[in-house]
Structure 1
Amino acid sequence: MNHISDFSPFNASIGDLEVENLSVLREVEEGWYVDYKEASISAKRIAKSLASFANTYGGWLFFGVREKSRSEPVAGEFPGLRSEEAHKLVECLRHGAAAWLSHSPYFETQILRGPCEELGLLEDKSVVVIFIPQSWSAPHIHKDGGIYRRVESSSEPTKESDRYAIEQLFKRRETPNKIIKKWIKRKPEFSDSEVERPVIRVLLDVDPFFNKNLNLSISEKEAVEILKNRNAPSVVESIPFDTVQLHASGLLGSQTRANNFESTGVSLKVNSDLSGEILIPINRMDHADFHAQRIYMEEYEHFSEFSKNFRCDDGYYRNKIADLNYTMIAISGILYVYMNILSKCGWKDELYVKVQAFNIWRAIPFLDVQYYMDWIEEHGCPMPPHNNELFPSGYAPESFVKINCDELSYDDSMDMSREQQEAVMYNTKYTIEIFKLVCRVFGVPDFVQARDFMHSDNNVENYKQLRDLRSRVFRIIELNRRSGAL
């Protein structure tokens, strides 16, 4: 979704700017889209400036630039900020927006360092550049109660007092809300034979507020190579897609070799705006499947203990079981492919996630962890009361769960490079957080499914446990395939 104004004084994005590019500002006046600041300002004032750009048409904020004169408000000189002051200012931007605004607008920053003889910028000085796009989640309200906007003739934010203008700001949210709601409500289609098969749908977004103008910018050849997993490092058990479709709205990778083409298989769809969705059919067993698959399921460490809860006097099993262990592995493998596509398109930030489940009524989830067994023993089995579930509930962009990857841990004893470790650690972090949401739709509390497997704050340990579970699950899958059960 495009912004009302994509004004830029440069012929490059903020991430590609060089210090020499700032020379064009000598022809650019302050006003709707540009603001020059010679020195740093307080967090309170910074928040007003960020909100005013986001609430109006978006724009550019420069620190370390002195305007020529009041009558000619273009960039005159570039005294810059000391390097340590520039870094403190960037931190102040983040903290100031979070502390002083009802919700922080999206913005990007770049520190352009001297020396630059053309600008007169000294070696130990820097100019801080901030780009703030027009916000579709406006208004961003200041803690002083004001809704600030830009005014053409003024470099300072102005408090909005016109009721109609304020109403229009609130209405701006309706556009992304409608798009997100339509996406969530567009359910996958199932064949008549699949009406009882549980399916997980993971909705992934990198920009639910439509601030970044991201696009699927890789070539068809690159897309096919990534989806078919031709260059995956051996340290990552990613999932290759044997069928790849390129269409107007994006990419679709599917696994079809083991499935009828009319059946729902594991798939990844990546849309043109880099949002994506994962479909994973859940291995479900009922009383007719137990005796055929039990020998393979007992490869799990805790399945025998788990299955005692459902055996009837005649030796048969009456309940439907949803094996979530493979789901975690599938999420991990597909996420690697998705994150690889995002990386090729220049994305290196957080994910926003929501999970849907279909056909899960009274399907008891099975997790191969001891604490889950203890929970069942004390509290009974979780059993979804509805056929379809959505978690978190709601259709607004704010209803998505935001997943950040904080500072990563490394382990020099692991037989992989730092770059490889970073890939698997990011993958592990996202997998764990998304799998928590999957468990929630099945009624498994966070602390239960996290206790044995995801108890560690150390992502190296989490990765090793995920790797061990992956080995057990793949062994069970192979046994089932050889027998024809899958």
Structure 2
Amino acid sequence: MQTYSPFNKPIRDLESSDLLNLKHTSEGWYIEYKREAPTSTTIAKSLSALANTYGGWFFVGIDEDSKENPVAGAFPGVERNEVDAVLQRMRKSAADHINPTPYFETKVLWGPVEQIGLEKDRCVICTWVPQSVTAPHVHKSGVIYRRVSDASEPKPENDRFVLDQLWRRADDIKQQHKKWYDRDPEFSDYEKLKPYVRVMLVADRWAEQGIWIDANEDEIRSVLATLDGASTIPFDTVHTSAEGFIGRQLNGNDPNNLSLTWRLGLDLVSDIIIPLPLYEVDTIQSLKIELDGYAYTDRFIGILNKYAAKKYRIVDLNYLFNVLRGVAEIQERLCKIAKWADAYYVKVKILNAWRTVPFLDILPVVERFEKNGPPMCLDSVISLPQGSHPESYTEVSRFPEIDVEMDIDESEGAKARVLLQAIAMFSNLALSFGIPRWIPCENDANLSPFHKELEMAGLRAIEVQRRRNERGSSAVGPISAA
């Protein structure tokens, strides 16, 4: 959601010289100047009022020219040794004095800037507060504040109509999320019988922060088509769409079929469709041929032999983790293009998986099936987390802490972060299919960490797919085997 700005750039790109613009910018609906850092209570009033009204800017270290001419007149700034304390006070004030806490960003702009008299070792603290869709933000005093015209101080709001509008401000965003959640792919008659995973990614759930991907088609093509190692899922076809871009994997696939697809919005909202191989066979021997190349095929088939099934519907999950690793790698690049430094959020939906048994070619998983019986999807559509509310997503940290038990080399920080993001995505899918989210391996020297077992199963899946292609099988996976 865009709000007024006295600058022609986002706050993260501001430079000290941009403060010159404020010499012609009056205090009022969108702007508030403070010569010195106010108290925590006053800061909370100002931040909540801006969030409740139209959004705007709060500056510390600037004095208005006069009441008759309320533009920035003097820039005394904040001393260097006081800056950390002021920033901490602002964060604590928002967290302790406002409910719910509004989103805001801050940037410190240092002198010297001779044109405005900002001296060396002094700075102006700039705070941008977008108009909030989670309004009203209530001050701890119990009062709802709003900016009013050219008033230099926020005013209490008690108009029932205005308050009702504040409460309903989030309705449009909630409705947009519901429409997005409900908008599953349009399947052909053939595709309605095949299972798919739908991965929904969003960075700014409440659309408050004005995220925008400023990149052309060639730049997006480079992001979607170049990946490393086990996570290789290149989108060899990329083109523009009404909402942004679409990437598809067509190499080796019929272009009329719904192959691996990435729908990317310019607001960093993504919809990824991952087809899953499905084997519908009448005999165990036929299934054994389809799974030729996996390490634990015989043990898995032994489990199925215990049951008097007339037909087997097996969904192959061995690609899935490496595909998600590729998704996380691409998402990380897109976040950098959009200059998004925070976490993003994920929701997964499993489509058309009714009455399927999952197969994951990992020994501890097969052993659990032997002990407890194989799980089966009993629903055609499964969603985790459930619901369509903007808060109903799983947070994926961009900078997760690395667990030493995972045997990840911390020197490869970027790859480790991508790996942990993939694990976060895989976790909900694993739960939906009835397989373990994580399996400890400290008691078995013959087992690699679970994420490495998942990676190796994915590499075996590529070989299995290659053998299927040679046989002319119709069970095509999300990665085309060369």
TM-score range, shorter chain: 0.7 to 0.9
For each residue in 1:188-220, what CA deviation from the matched residue of structure 2 results, as whole angstroms up to 9, or x when unmatched? 011112222111111111222111222332112
Give the secondary-structure state (helix, strand or coil) at the position aligned to 1:434. helix
Distance in 1 (CA, whole Å) between partners of 2:200 and 2:135 is 24
Matching of residues 258-407 of structure 1 within 5 Å? 258-288=252-282, 291-292=285-286, 294=288, 297=291, 299-312=293-306, 318-373=311-366, 375-377=368-370, 379-406=372-399
Pair 1:129 & 2:117 matched: no
Residue 458 of structure 1: aligned partner: none
Seen in structure 2, the aligned counterparts of structure 1 residues 43 and 194 have a Cα distance that, compared at 3 Å, is: same
Root mean square deviation, CA, Å: 3.2
Instruction: Please point out which of 201, 204, 207 is paired with 1:204.
Output: 201
Give the secondary-structure state (helix, strand or coil) at the position aligned to 1:430. helix
Distance in 1 (CA, whole Å) between partners of 2:140 and 2:298 is 57
Distance in 1 (CA, whole Å) between partners of 2:163 and 2:7 is 31
Question: Residue 408 of structure 1 contacts residue 422 of structure 1 at CA under 8 Å; is this kept in 2?
Answer: no
For each residue in 1:142-164, what CA deviation from the matched residue of structure 2 results, as whole angstroms up to 9, or x when unmatched? 34433221122433332321111
Question: Residue 369 of structure 1 contacts residue 452 of structure 1 at CA under 8 Å; is this kept in 2?
Answer: no
Distance in 1 (CA, whole Å) between partners of 2:161 and 2:49 is 17
For each residue in 1:444-466, what CA deviation from the matched residue of structure 2 results, as whole angstroms up to 9, or x when unmatched? 4xxx3223489xxxxxx887666
Cα deviation, residue 110, structure 1: 1.1
Give the secondary-structure state (helix, strand or coil) at the position aligned to 1:192. coil
Residue 48 of structure 2: aligned partner: 51
Listed as ranges, the gaps of 5+ residues in structure 1 are: 455-460
TM-score (norm 1): 0.85
Instruction: Please point out which of 235, 242, 248 is paired with 2:242.
Output: 248
Seen in structure 2, the aligned counterparts of structure 1 residues 426 and 466 have a Cα distance that, compared at 3 Å, is: farther
Distance in 1 (CA, whole Å) between partners of 2:437 and 2:72 is 57
| Amino acid in structure 1 at the alignment position of 2:432 | V
Distance in 2 (CA, whole Å) between partners of 1:26 and 1:129 is 15
| Amino acid in structure 2 at the alignment position of 1:275 | V
Residue 139 of structure 2: aligned partner: 142
Distance in 1 (CA, whole Å) between partners of 2:39 and 2:307 is 73
Distance in 2 (CA, whole Å) between partners of 1:290 and 1:436 is 30
Instruction: Please point out which of 12, 15, 28 is paired with 1:15.
Output: 12
Give the secondary-structure state (helix, strand or coil) at the position aligned to 1:126. strand
For each residue in 1:74-133, what CA deviation from the matched residue of structure 2 results, as whole angstroms up to 9, or x when unmatched? 323222223353234334444443343333322222111222233333322222111111
Listed as ranges, the gaps of 5+ residues in structure 2 are: 443-448, 477-482
Residue 32 of structure 1: aligned partner: 29
Question: Sequence identity, in percent?
Answer: 33
Question: Residue 282 of structure 2 contacts residue 312 of structure 2 at CA under 8 Å; is this kept in 1?
Answer: no
Cα deviation, residue 238, structure 1: 3.2
Question: Residue 238 of structure 1 contacts residue 336 of structure 1 at CA under 8 Å; is this kept in 2?
Answer: no
Cα deviation, residue 310, structure 1: 1.5
Distance in 2 (CA, whole Å) between partners of 1:187 and 1:478 is 30
For each residue in 1:371-399, what CA deviation from the matched residue of structure 2 results, as whole angstroms up to 9, or x when unmatched? 54454455544333211122222222122
Instruction: Please point out which of 218, 223, 227 is paired with 1:226.
Output: 223
Instruction: Please point out which of 464, 469, 478 is paired with 1:481.
Output: 469
For each residue in 1:17-65, what CA deviation from the matched residue of structure 2 results, as whole angstroms up to 9, or x when unmatched? 1112212323322221111223334444433322211110000011222
